[in-house]
Amino acid sequence: MTNFLVSNYSLLSSPRNAVSKIQQELTIMQKQATTGRLADVGLTLGLRTSQSISLRSETESVARQLDTNAIISQRFSIMQNAMDSLAATGDSLLSSLIANGSGDPGTTANIDQARASLQQFVGALNSSSGARFLFSGTATDQPSISFPTAGGGTADTYFEGSQAQTATADAFTAVFGFSQDDAAVADISESDLEAFLDGAFDDLFSTAPGGGWKDNWSNSGDGTTVNRISDSESIKTSYSSDEEAFRNIAKAYVMLSDLGNANMNESARQLLTSRAIETLSKGLNQLTELRAEIGGSQSRLDIADETLAARKNVLTISISDLEEVDQYEASTRVTGLQTLLETSYALTARISRLSLLNYL
């Protein structure tokens, strides 16, 4: 004969334990049905968890690189827009110089347009993206072009008492013995003017030791900023207002607007206008080369982004193979567990109303 012990505790404990297990599984299935991912990756994958961690780390690295590339792409776009504006303004002045001729009305129009073009030139080169100035070389925390004054301040434009204007006036006076607005400007010969343009005036826009560009115009830092755009490729991402293209464009504008053009005799004025056209044309051609260089960098950046995006997709698929679950199957399982749980609750309630006497 076998002894068989029956008690209220054993009758109640069995269904309660079953309910607890169902609740635990239901919680897991609900999470998987909602996220589409294993509720506990480490527990389920075991030794393969390190593979999942490695894939996720690589995915995050690729995502960060794509974000960095997006910022670089935005900067390149702003640079291109600024240089497009510079090119349009320069082309407009070239057309005007040719159309207006060297007569008095045309000269006055050329001077006014050159001054307006210089204002636009400064605005374009001081373009920024966020807190970063894009044409300041490595000195991205400050505008690329500014005009310090003798008193230590900064002039708003070239024509408002800046040190650059003073340097131009001093160079002019040192060579000719009078200022640009003196009536004696009419006596300047072609040869003397040409010597000034090739000598003292040219030095004002030189970046060589003793030149005036760095002292009176540019805040750009020396050196080049290079950014990585993929694991194996880097590109130049900084450009400087010290580029010869910008210096030639500025030189042409100042040549027309601040060398006493209106008071010159006809032959000197024709020479000045011809040299301004030559200098501006050279600067615009050099500007086109810079725009093409940035365009090439943009193309490389686009190719790198395509490669990174494809790599990210492969990594995402690999992670999905490891971690993802069938959400439809999980949802079906949730429904079944909820039904089973309700049944267990009902059974537990019925058992709790039984007594040992009833069982016997």
At 352, is the pLDDT very low, low, confident or very high (cuts 50, 70, 90)? Answer: low
**Is 158 within a domain?**
yes
Q: Which domain holds residue 284?
A: 68-314
Most confident stretch, 122-131, 257-266, 276-285: 276-285
Six token digits for residue 255: 């040549």
Buried b (16+ CB within 10 A) or exposed e, 271-308: bbbebbbebbebbbebbeebbeebeebbeebeebbebb
- The label of the residue with tokens 């480490």 reads 42
Residue 210's pLDDT is 85
- Residue in 326, 244, 235 with CA at minimum distance from that of residue 283: 244
**Is 37 within a domain?**
no
- Residue in 107, 102, 92 with CA at minimum distance from that of residue 280: 92
CA gap 316, 55 in Å, rounded: 8
Residue 135 phi/psi, 5° resolution?
-115, 30
CA gap 59, 2 in Å, rounded: 64
Residue range 259-287: mean pLDDT, rounded: 94
Residue 81's pLDDT is 96
Summarised one tens digit per residue, pLDDT across range 77-108 is 999 999 999 999 999 999 999 887 666 778 88
Residue 332's pLDDT is 74
Q: Report how many domains make up the chain.
A: 1
Contact (CB, 8 A) for 223 and 137:
yes
- The per-residue pLDDT of the chain, averaged, comes to 83
**Is 239 within a domain?**
yes
At 151, is the pLDDT very low, low, confident or very high (cuts 50, 70, 90)? Answer: low
Summarised one tens digit per residue, pLDDT across range 230-251 is 988 999 998 999 999 999 999 9
Residue 243's pLDDT is 95
Contact (CB, 8 A) for 299 and 141:
no
* Count of H-run helices and E-run strands, the chain: 12, 6
Helix, strand, coil shares, percent, the chain, to 5: 70, 5, 25
Contact (CB, 8 A) for 186 and 195:
no
CA gap 157, 172 in Å, rounded: 20
DSSP H helical ranges for 126-219: 163-176, 190-198, 200-203, 213-216
**Is 34 within a domain?**
no
User: What's the maximum distance between 2 C-alpha atoms anywhere in the chain?
Assistant: 140
Summarised one tens digit per residue, pLDDT across range 26-55 is 566 666 666 656 655 555 666 667 777 888
**Is 51 within a domain?**
no
For position 107, which CATH number holds? Answer: 1.20.1330.10
CA gap 271, 252 in Å, rounded: 13
DSSP H helical ranges for the chain: 8-35, 41-45, 49-100, 104-125, 163-176, 190-198, 200-203, 213-216, 244-257, 266-323, 327-352, 356-359
Residue 107's pLDDT is 87
Residue range 104-121: mean pLDDT, rounded: 88
Residue 206's pLDDT is 95
**Is 219 within a domain?**
yes
pLDDT at 147 exceeding the cut of 70? yes
**Is 232 within a domain?**
yes
Six token digits for residue 233: 């490729």
CA gap 227, 234 in Å, rounded: 5
Six token digits for residue 138: 């490595």
CA gap 9, 242 in Å, rounded: 90
At 316, is the pLDDT very low, low, confident or very high (cuts 50, 70, 90)? Answer: confident
**Is 16 within a domain?**
no
